Amino acid sequence: MPDFTDLTAMTIAAARARLAKKDFTALELTDAHLAAMDKARDLNAFIVTTPDVARERAKAADVRIQSGKAGALEGIPLGIKDLFCTEGVQTTAASHILEGFKPQYESTVSQKLRDAGSVMLGKLNLDEFAMGSSNMTSYFGPVKSPWKAKGRADDLVPGGSSGGSATAVSACLAMGATGTDTGGSIRQPASFCGIVGVKPTYGRCSRWGIVAFASSLDQAGPMTRTVRDAAIMLKVMCGHDPKDSTSAPLAVPDFEAALSKGVKGLRIGIPNEYRPDGLNAEVAALWDKGIQWLKDAGATTVEISLPHTKSALPTYYIVAPAEASSNLARYDGVRFGQRVEGKTLDEMYAKTRAAGFGTEVKRRILIGTYVLSAGYYDAYYLKAQKVRALIARDFTEAFEKCDAILTPTAPSAAFGLHDKQDDPVAMYLNDVFTVPASLAGIPGASVPADLNSEGLPLGLQVLTKRWDEETMFSVCQVLEDAAKFPFLKGAP
């Protein structure tokens, strides 16, 4: 009888090897995770668990392993963010308006993970429609981080919007999870929960079947406990999809091969603008530590300027809500999801949407509707598009001087479950370091780097130019090796 705790604390890479050696079965691995999930219900990481689906797929995986036909993720138990449509399994985007909705189709990314033999454990909680940085906006209740500050009992947020994913992976409820990142929704929760989160280049992963928040920004990516695991998962998740017109017709690189390349001779850009007055001292110190790690590994550092950084957050909070206001128009009670009847069509719309959407979603729909309105379009949306182009140009110019950029992922460690709720703008500031890369469409990853004085994880962010995830992975691997991050359940 294998030790279930041992099984759940493993990396994907290790599990892959040991499954191949038949040290244990995929079903045993899945059962270990289902048991862990059961014990950790209090964290509220999952909206729906799918033990039957999981065990069925695990059994099928065992058959394939036995017959030597194992896929890249054969038998690996994963959590799927509840923004990915999953065939026959409720998909809600953590919104009441989609409660009970069971798609008849599977998103391209989750299909690829399925086809590679992975096992879906359930649908992970998130901020409603991926709008939030704390996972507080979920209709199905907040997710708790498995981490606690030293000497304190109060619950912390896992970050957001992929909060369920971050908690599940961090607490070893899943070996990896899918996330989506629109302005930082993979990287910031990865930083808060001490795991690896990768947002690939916009266009690398298909958006088909992912409930849309802001179409020009949304991008799926892996959340795992190690850089290698992220490379393994991303390779499966990405690739051209003719069903998504914004998906790039590019071959998928061997990300895993890039892990051993090191950073010798690489130029690491350090952006001045990411060190504002009042930057958390521990975050600043960690950043310096990261710079030193890369230097020690043979990289050089170069100061760069990303002059439009300060405009990124306001730009994001025009572009994303604008697209969201239109993307969320389809939740009207007519064809699927929740409906509240009314005497007229307009009344039905109003009642359905009033009851179906939470406060933050309504706020963003209103902002988005406003910035697209006649008379305001030029001043807001059009101007934001222009600034967005400038932000992208900042990066293009910076990457003439450097091969990768190193920054903190988030301006702070995780905060309390009940902090910051009254001030949406303070909440939006969580994404200050992650949003610029989203607007530019470049890849970014957060690597767990250290614990702060309260014993809470802090992450470092690595950015590279479009389609250069390989360099990003090389840098991430060096950081991970140097950081020797203390995971919750020991070294994975």
Partner 1 sequence: MSYVIKGETGQWEVVIGLEVHAQVISKSKLFSGAPTEFGAGPNTQVSFIDAGMPGMLPVINAHAVEQAVRTGLGLKAKINQRSVFARKNYFYADLPQGYQISQYDMPIVGEGTLILDMPDGTTRAIGIERLHLEQDAGKSVHDMHPSKTFIDLNRAGVPLMEIVSKPDLRSPEEAGLYLKKLRSILRYLGTCDGNMEEGSMRCDANVSVRPVGSTELRTRCEIKNVNSVRFVMQAIEHEAMRHVDVYESGGSINQETRLYDSNKGETRPMRSKEFAHDYRYFPDPDLQPLEFDDAFVAAIKSKLPELPDDKQARFIKDYGLSAYDAGVLVAEQENALYFEEVAKGRDAKLANNWVSSNLFGVLNARGVAIGDSPVSAKNLGRLLDLIADNTLSSRMAKEVFEIMAETGNAPDAIVEERGMKQITDTGAIDAAIDQIIAQNADKVEQYRSGKEQLMGWFVGQVMKATQGKANPGVCGELLRKKLKS
> Which positions touch partner 1 (CB under 8 A)?
84-85, 91, 93, 98, 101, 103-105, 107, 207-212, 214-216, 242-246, 322-323, 325-326, 328-330, 332, 334-336, 345-346, 349, 369, 372-374, 377, 381
Nearest residue (CB) to partner 1, 108 versus 226 = 108
Q: Is the peptide bond before 161 cis (omega within 30 degrees of 0)?
A: yes
Please state the closest distance from residue 82 (CB atom) to partner 1, in A. Answer: 11
Residue 461: what residue type? Answer: Q
Nearest to 78 by CA among 137, 22, 26: 26
Nearest residue (CB) to partner 1, 54 versus 93 = 93
Based on the residue annotation, tell me whether 162 is a catalytic residue of this protein.
Answer: no
Nearest to 305 by CA among 335, 261, 273, 336: 273
Residues near 122 by beta carbon (within 8 Å), at least 6 away in sequence = 37, 46, 47, 48, 49, 50, 51, 54, 79, 80
Active-site residue identified among 81, 112, 235, 420: 81
Please state the closest distance from residue 79 (CB atom) to partner 1, in A. Answer: 18
Half-sphere exposure of 234 (CA within 13 A, CB side): 37
Based on the residue annotation, tell me whether 215 is a catalytic residue of this protein.
Answer: no
Residue 244: what residue type? Answer: D
Nearest residue (CB) to partner 1, 332 versus 419 = 332
Active-site residue identified among 110, 118, 145, 161: 161
Cα–Cα distance measured from residue 60 to residue 467, given in angstroms and rounded to the nearest whole number? 34
Nearest residue (CB) to partner 1, 61 versus 442 = 442
Nearest residue (CB) to partner 1, 246 versus 280 = 246
Cα–Cα distance measured from residue 38 to residue 488, given in angstroms and rounded to the nearest whole number? 18
| Residue 460 bridge partners (DSSP) | 408, 447
Based on the residue annotation, tell me whether 81 is a catalytic residue of this protein.
Answer: yes
| CA 115 to chain centroid | 21
Please state the closest distance from residue 212 (CB atom) to partner 1, in A. Answer: 7
User: What is the Cα Rg of the chain in Å?
Assistant: 21
Nearest residue (CB) to partner 1, 107 versus 474 = 107
Active-site residue identified among 185, 206, 446, 474: 185
Please state the closest distance from residue 233 (CB atom) to partner 1, in A. Answer: 20
Cα–Cα distance measured from residue 192 to residue 147, given in angstroms and rounded to the nearest whole number? 9
Please state the closest distance from residue 331 (CB atom) to partner 1, in A. Answer: 8
Residue 291: what residue type? Answer: I
Please state the closest distance from residue 437 (CB atom) to partner 1, in A. Answer: 17
Half-sphere exposure of 212 (CA within 13 A, CB side): 20
Q: Which residues are catalytic?
A: 81, 161, 185
